Structure 1
Amino acid sequence: MASSDCHKKFFSLKSLMSQDSNFNQLFVPPSQRDHYQGILNAPVVLVEYGNYQSPQCGEVHRLIQAIQQHFDSVFSGENRVCVVFRHFIQNSIYPQAQKAAEVAEAAAVQGQFWQMHDMLFLHQQELGNGYLVEYADRLGLDISQFLQDLSKRRHVDRINEDTASGHHSGVTTVPALFINGIRYRDRWSVEQLIATIVTASH
């Protein structure tokens, strides 16, 4: 499916749900700008707004990993599901989330966003500055460049753009998940998510 077809599909889904005020639609469609696993024109695109300090986001991270493994095993590399992660920062509730997001973006510059993404969720209880540098070291990042990115706060605008796009989509707290542009509001379980994804893929 071409990129234009993907956008047509996205906006047609939005228009289908536009009369139902109980649903939120994704305001900014997925694009090459995003951090994503899979292909953007996959039959199903999951967009998660989250942060690395929220325990609930940690649970959803594990759910999404399980879902990815399920579809990979069932469809063996057919790229049925694309996963997009966007930052949504709530400093008053999760004071360490902003720095963790900046760390993920600093890793992204060095081609290791998803490795750092997984590392941060694995160590949610240890997001202090010393730990964050240790994670970068474990991933073999250029520590000098990494620290310079953090000290100059080079990725703050990117993170703020993610958060703003979430607000435009009606997100007020994390985790928030959109499936093909429509806000997921059902039970947070592997079974329910898989059922919803299968339905969305048809």
Structure 2
Amino acid sequence: MSRSWSRRPRYAPPRPRSLWRRLVDYALTVIALGLLILLAARLDRIETRKTEGAAVVNDGDTITLGTERIRMRGIDAPEYSQICRRDGADYPCGKLARQSLVRLISGKPVSCTGWQRDRYGRLLGDCKAGGKDLNRAQVEAGWAIAYGDFEIEEAAARSGKAGIWAGTFDEPHDWRESHDRKVVERKHGTLASIGDALREIFRFW
């Protein structure tokens, strides 16, 4: 009876890297460090701004805090002069949207945070008063539509026929476009914010 024995491979020490390979590794390290420095510099430009104080309510989705004009992020309310229709009659839905926001604030101090600005220079803000999320509450009350965010709240308001959903209306961005406002405001919800952040990070000087 014969047995066959297999030899175990001996441990071979790693070969020293070639000069070319070391140069490539050093170059990749320098590139990675450069990208990190660039990323840090770009992130400085995405600093969140917070402003607070007594609010002047301009319309259903725009307020002024001190010298800062704020467009509430992720929602779109009827313009102040916009007219909607309910029960066969026209009514000033833009003014009612503003009144809804005034009621939600109820004279309390308002705080808004954000880092983006729209094409008019307004801060796109998430605003609160007395712990209440004003952006969300306007959509829930039916006096603003989802504009990049708060789609679940809009669906609930629509099914409950709250606010403008009790009748018919032109969506605010359509109304603006049809009333000689050539600049169309793009949506500015969560996904748009992520896209803006990525563009800001990777945009070169």
Question: Which bin holds the TM-score, normalised by the shorter protein?
Answer: under 0.3
Between Structure 1 and Structure 2, the one with more strand by share is 2
Between Structure 1 and Structure 2, the one with more helix by share is 1
Q: With structure 1 as the length reference, what TM-score do the two structures score?
A: 0.24
Give the number of the structure with larger relative contact order, counting CA–CA contacts within 8 Å between residues 6 or more apart. 1
**Which has the larger Rg?**
2
